Structure 1
Amino acid sequence: MRRPITSTHRLVAARRSPGRDLSLATVLAAVAGAANAGGFFALGAYTSHMTGYLSQLADNLVLWNLRVAGTSILAIAAFVSGAAFSAILVNWARAHDKRQQFALPLAVQGVFLLCFSGGGMFSSEAGRLFSLWCLCFIMGMQNATITKISGARIRTTHATGMITDIGIEIGRAIFGRLMPGRRVDTDRFKLRILGQLVGAFVIGGVVGAFGYGRFGFVFSVPLGLILLTMSLPTLALWREHGSRPDDI
């Protein structure tokens, strides 16, 4: 029987497999769904939904509502900064010790989720903006991290894209039934992966809505601990074994 520390180490190891990618993506999608629900509870907005913020920015620029437009710019900038920071961490680790390239950004995301749990301590507008920035930064980091891990095959917070792909595969299946001679078949494996990730996001959202509704900002603590539990044992193993070449 595998020890938990070994299982988490394999989950974020530099050597990847489709199974590891899907397992990690499922966990991250559930965390993203829960954190997204927390954003709505705390801020009245879904912080993974950059399309909404772009639309909000355009609308409020026309209405000359600069305060709301500024908030939208803050959210978008935080998401972009998170994605950029994740790419910096991954590429830095690849240059220095490739075994750290996935555990390191997950650990940082866990720390930021713990920081988000303190956002509720501030009742001022500055506290609200801090919470918004922190959560959008996390969402950008997570989406970029799983994108890098999976070679751009999976994006855990981009539910619109996943649902679009599900619709495409369903359309291919229907067309294949109506026109069998065309040899258009649905990718059942891809459809199963997409369904699993969307389901994980929804289940995470349900848990997050209940958790944040019941316990408030402090519910970010277990979400952060999930990411730290996956990443810190691996970082500790690297510190312990130094430059050991094996990457289990």
Structure 2
Amino acid sequence: MPVHYARFLVGRHRTITANRQLGWTLAFVAGALNAGGFLAVQTYTSHVTGRLSSLADELALGHLNLVVDAIAGVAAFVLGAMACAILVNFARRRHLSSTYALPLMLEAALILVFGLMGARLSQVEGVLLLPATVVLLCFVMGLQNAVVTKLSGAVIRTTHMTGVVTDLGIELGKLVYWNRTQRDTPPVRANRQRFVVLGGLLASFTAGAIAGAFGFQKLGYVSSVPLALMLAALAAVPLADDWRRRPWRQRG
């Protein structure tokens, strides 16, 4: 991967094009982890909506141990988002080039742990019946969702497609809407650039899900290792830039 492209994609200074392409990349990663992770841990981990619904259902059924498990999954997602905020704010205060590379490198390391030690971690129960692999994946998804949210100003989401599909439907509605000529009402026009972004996110997530599902079916946990290496390669360039400059030493 060319160094200048990694610096463009993950660097501190953001552009619409960089946000779009990084969003597509991370949507692929999220789709692969969500679908492949389901085959590994029998639950989806990229969003908290289902976990909150599960919490309510299990509470009504009196399955208090599963209620705690649902809470633990949501808490792990929240902690992932918190970790991202801490890393990003730390880097911003020190004017580091690796503002967004730091959380992505952490994500890469955790995915690598999942890929190399997932089978062993699945036997470790964290909170009651919840395997450590589920907690790990929920944390990773919270971390990634927060990264993209912060760098894009909450414009792009990559770990869940409900909002993406809704916005895509709105833009399609605008696209096919028949505009009558009216003096006081401006015509309804679809945002074609937004349509491209949303369509790319949906396509990337779907492609990642297919790749993740087939990869886990054929190779098991190790199929997630290429995802970790890809993210690590992207994040390594801004981190190397900071290491060469060492701005934290100059700033005390």
TM above 0.5: yes
Out of 100, 103, 108, the position equivalent to 2:101 is 103
Identity of matched residues, %? 42
The question of whether the paired residues in 1 share the 8 Å contact of 2:47 and 2:141 is answered with no
Alignment match, 1:25? 23
Letter of the 1:204 counterpart: G
Q: Distance in 2 between matches of 1:212 and 1:80?
A: 26
What is the number of equivalent residue pairs in this alignment? 241
TM-score scaled by length of structure 1: 0.92
Out of 65, 68, 91, the position equivalent to 1:67 is 65
1:68 to partner: Cα distance: 1.8
Q: CA RMSD in A?
A: 1.7
Alignment match, 1:112? 110
Out of 134, 158, 170, the position equivalent to 1:168 is 170
Q: Distance in 2 between matches of 1:50 and 1:40?
A: 14
The question of whether the paired residues in 1 share the 8 Å contact of 2:179 and 2:188 is answered with no
Alignment of 1:81-160 (within 5 A): 81-117=79-115, 118-122=117-121, 124=123, 126=125, 129-160=131-162
Gapped regions of structure 1 (runs ≥ 5): none
Q: Distance in 2 between matches of 1:123 and 1:60?
A: 22
Q: Deviations over 1:182-224 (max 9, x none)?
A: 4111111101110001100000011101111111111121111
1:6 to partner: Cα distance: 2.0
1:172 to partner: Cα distance: 2.3
Alignment match, 2:211? 207
Q: Distance in 2 between matches of 1:104 and 1:213?
A: 31
Q: Distance in 1 between matches of 2:239 and 2:28?
A: 23
Letter of the 1:129 counterpart: P
1:43 to partner: Cα distance: 1.1
The question of whether the paired residues in 1 share the 8 Å contact of 2:96 and 2:242 is answered with no
Higher helix content, 1 or 2: 1
Q: Distance in 1 between matches of 2:65 and 2:124?
A: 12
Alignment match, 1:216? 220
The question of whether the paired residues in 1 share the 8 Å contact of 2:74 and 2:138 is answered with yes
1:178 to partner: Cα distance: 5.4
Q: Secondary structure at the match of 2:131?
A: helix
Q: Distance in 1 between matches of 2:180 and 2:86?
A: 48
Say whether 1:235 aligns with 2:243. no
1:49 to partner: Cα distance: 2.8
Gapped regions of structure 2 (runs ≥ 5): none
The question of whether the paired residues in 2 share the 8 Å contact of 1:115 and 1:134 is answered with no
Q: Distance in 2 between matches of 1:110 and 1:11?
A: 16
